[in-house]
Amino acid sequence: MSNPNIASRFDEIYDSTNKYVLAYITAKCRSTADIGDVFQDAYLELYQVLCKRGADYITNEKAFVLKIAKRKLARYYSLLERLKIFVFMNAVNGDGETADLTEFEADSFLTEEFVVNKDLVEKAKQLINAKSEDIQKVFYLFYDVDLTIPEISKAMSISEQNVKNKLYRTLKELREILK
């Protein structure tokens, strides 16, 4: 970061928008494994815009970064679909079967404080990864992004009760299985 004004403006925008944008991207991503890529791309573009246009170019930070995130999501999934088609048509493994890019492993959602034992952590990850994308997103937003239940509800456009059900039922199931 060569220009200190650009760097400090970027930090200021990032600090004021990152939780909101991450929650939006999480709610809109088809797979939790894609969240980090889209999030990083959005803020990289923000930095590039600041370098090109100057530190004072952006007036409404939240709207500007959200617009970038929306474009990144659209481009990401458009490119992903094209890559799937390309690989499906051109890639063949040793058994003569086409490669399958439809299965993406979700990121880890649990913090180290939640489970100390490494085997339990691995079991918990497997159980969470086996759940629906909505449940994975709720866990990600709650444990990794530290959003509250009302914030998750707003970000995912579902009721608070629905968020609580997904979170608490899955936690109860994890406790029973991992005892």
Say whether domain 4-90 belongs to CATH 1.10.1740: yes
Local confidence pLDDT in tens for the 179 residues of the chain: 457 789 999 999 999 999 999 988 988 888 888 898 899 999 999 999 999 988 888 889 998 999 999 888 888 777 656 555 544 444 444 444 444 444 433 333 333 333 345 566 677 778 888 999 999 899 888 877 878 899 999 989 999 999 999 989 988 888 888 77
pLDDT in tens, 35-45: 988 999 999 99
Instruction: Kindly give, in sequence order, each residue whose CB lies less than 8 Å from that of residue 178, ignoring residues fewer than 6 positions away.
Output: 115, 120, 123, 124
Domain assignments of the chain as residue spans, ordered by start: 4-90, 118-178
Which CATH number describes the domain made up of 118-178?
Answer: 1.10.10.10
Q: Is the pTM of this model over 0.75?
A: no
Rounded Cα–Cα distance for residues 3 and 165 (Å): 48
